[in-house]
Amino acid sequence: MDLIIPKKLNKGDTIGIVSPSAGLGPIFPHRLEQAEKNLSKLGFKVKYAKNSLKNNGYVSASAKERADDIHEMFLDKDVKAIIAAIGGNHSNQLLKHLDFEIIRNNPKIFMGYSDIIVLLFAMMAKSNLMTFHGPCIISEFGEYPEILPYTLEYFEKCVTKANPIGDILQSDSWTWEFLDWFEKKDLTRARKMNPSEGYVWWREGFAQGKILGGCVPSLQHLMGTEYWIDFSGKIMFLDIPEGSPGEKMSIENLDSIFADLDNMGIFKTIKGLIIGRPYFYEKEDNLKLKETIMHYVADYDYPVLFNANIGHVSPIITIPMGAEASLDSKNNKFEIRSAGVAD
């Protein structure tokens, strides 16, 4: 994994917006407007790819049009970073349409999470590009009245500074509250935050290795394909999203996917495991989740960290995929030891 490191994002730069999966831009234009305001305050401009504001049912546009948008943004010399509008469940449709030479020859920041990890993995595997598991335009950058400070802090540390990112501290608070976007209730007040209980070590220990991972059900789209990346020697992180809209993902479904990972030998070869704060999981759910995961890793001795700010519960960190990271339970530390961008 000798990856191409993209150049950092500077004030005044243009961020390109693509919609590789769900087409929610025209349904929730106020979220895009809020994101533009928030990014403008930070000194950034935005540019929409040709098909990024379309809606074609559960996707934004045809697979080829969505892939063409990614090519357009990588080829555009004015665009310095590309961020997905939002996730969905159909980024995998783009893979056979992508020109990975275009991406390799025009390296720049490409960011998103949820099913956008399909593209993050593919660009790493086929274009050798370091990609970024981090906030999306509609969800995180469209936050009202402003981007959550913790999300913004780690976004800026990761993509605007060519320094090792350092300690990833736990946020003081978190939320999974959803204020109805259809009724624009999200423009009436900030979401209610809950106090954070901090990191929880399901198993203690020390580990160091390159960090890689993503949304649990989206990983299934990559299994057995040429876009999968070997997890041997890596610190793996897992993001547990909601199941159907407004509901938690069931332990039964997660257990099935963990069994897939186990059958592939993943849990045997990784050096450490990080679990992001699960969406809609209460205390009893977390206990069942711990029991399930610890069953699969019982024969190994690496550290297992729970409750990280990764994925669908806000706020979130930005992770440069393939960067050097470490886990240290003795000192309660999760650290990203290398930079995500270059000068």
Model pLDDT, residue 52? 98
Gap between the Cα atoms of 212 and 234, Å rounded: 7
Instruction: Specify whether the CB–CB gap between 253 and 285 falls below 8 A.
Output: no
Instruction: Specify whether the CB–CB gap between 277 and 309 falls below 8 A.
Output: yes
CB-based contacts of 307, cutoff 8 Å, min separation 6: 170, 196, 197, 198, 199, 200, 275, 276, 277
**Radius of gyration of the chain from its Cα atoms, rounded to whole angstroms:** 19
Question: 99, 120, 136, 101: which is closest to 322 by C-alpha?
Answer: 120
Instruction: Specify whether the CB–CB gap between 274 and 328 falls below 8 A.
Output: no
Q: Are strands 206-215 and 324-328 parallel, antiparallel or unpaired?
A: antiparallel
All structural domains of the chain, each given as residue ranges with its CATH number in brackets, are: 14-163 (3.40.50.10740), 167-336 (3.50.30.60)
Mean pLDDT by 10 residues, the chain (343 residues): 94 98 97 98 98 96 98 98 98 98 98 98 98 98 98 98 97 97 97 97 98 97 97 98 91 97 98 97 97 98 98 97 98 97 97
Gap between the Cα atoms of 327 and 187, Å rounded: 38
**What's the distance, Cα to Cα, between the start and end of the chain in Å?**
20
Alpha-helical regions (H) of 42-116: 63-75, 100-105
Gap between the Cα atoms of 59 and 15, Å rounded: 22
CA distances for 88 relative to 30, 116, 165, 235, 280, angstroms: 19, 8, 28, 25, 18
CB-based contacts of 296, cutoff 8 Å, min separation 6: 258, 259, 261, 262, 267
Is the peptide bond between 145 and the residue preceding it cis, with omega within 30 degrees of 0?
A: yes
Gap between the Cα atoms of 44 and 160, Å rounded: 11
Instruction: State the Cα angle at 293 between 292 and 297, rounded to 5°.
Output: 125
Instruction: State the Cα angle at 3 between 82 and 84, rounded to 5°.
Output: 20
Q: Residues for the chain: how many in total?
A: 343
Model pLDDT, residue 1? 65
Is the peptide bond between 6 and the residue preceding it cis, with omega within 30 degrees of 0?
A: no
CA 250 centroid distance within chain: 21
For 96-154, the three-class secondary structure string (H helix, E strand, C coil) is: HHCCHHHHHHCCCEEEECHHHHHHHHHHHHHHCECCEECCCHHHHHCCCCCCCHHHHHH
Instruction: Specify whether the CB–CB gap between 49 and 35 falls below 8 A.
Output: no
